[in-house]
Amino acid sequence: MSFAFKHFPAARDDLRADVLAGLAASPKAIPPKYFYDDAGCRLFEAICTQPEYALCRTEQALMAAHLPDIAAAVGDVDCIVEPGAGDCAKVRLLLGALRPSHLAVIDIAGAPLAAAAQGISRDHPELAVTALAMDFLRDLEAAAAWLPAGKRLVYYPGSSIGNFPPESASGLLARFRHLAGAEGRLLVGFDLKKDPQRLHAAYNDAAGITAAFNLNLLTRLNRELDADFDLARFSHYAFYNPVAGRVEMHLVSLADQTVGVAGERFRFALGETLHTEHSYKFRCDEFSALARTAGWQQEGEWVRDGFAVQLFA
Residues 300, 313: Cα–Cα separation, whole Å: 10
CB atoms within 10 A of CB 16: 15
Query: Minimal CA–CA distance to 107: which of 49, 157, 69?
Result: 157
What lies within 8 Å, CB to CB, of 231 at 6+ separation is 215, 218, 219
pLDDT tens digits for 260-294? 999 999 999 999 999 999 999 999 999 999 999 99
Q: What is the pTM of this model?
A: 0.93
pLDDT tens digits for 127-177? 999 999 998 988 899 999 999 999 999 999 999 999 999 999 999 999 999
Bridge-based pairing of strands 152-156 and 128-133 is unpaired
- DSSP-derived secondary structure for 147-191: S-SS-EEEEE-TTGGGGS-HHHHHHHHHHHHHHH-TT-EEEEEEE
Task: Please name each of the domains of the chain with its CATH number.
Answer: 52-194+281-312 (3.40.50.150)
Residues 277, 312: Cα–Cα separation, whole Å: 26
Residues 10, 227: Cα–Cα separation, whole Å: 19
Residues 220, 37: Cα–Cα separation, whole Å: 7
pLDDT tens digits for 193-233? 999 999 999 999 999 999 999 999 999 999 999 999 999 99
pLDDT tens digits for 24-62? 999 999 999 999 999 998 999 999 999 999 999 999 999
Predicted local confidence at residue 139, as pLDDT: 87
Residue 277, strand partner residues: 249
What lies within 8 Å, CB to CB, of 26 at 6+ separation is none
Predicted local confidence at residue 109, as pLDDT: 83
Please answer whether residues 134 and 109 qualify as being in contact, where contact means their C-beta atoms are separated by less than 8 angstroms.
Answer: no
The distance of Cα 263 from the centroid of its chain, to the nearest Å, equals 30
* pLDDT band at residue 108 under the 50/70/90 scheme: confident
Mapped onto helix, strand or coil, the DSSP state of residue 9 is coil
Bridge-based pairing of strands 102-107 and 79-83 is parallel
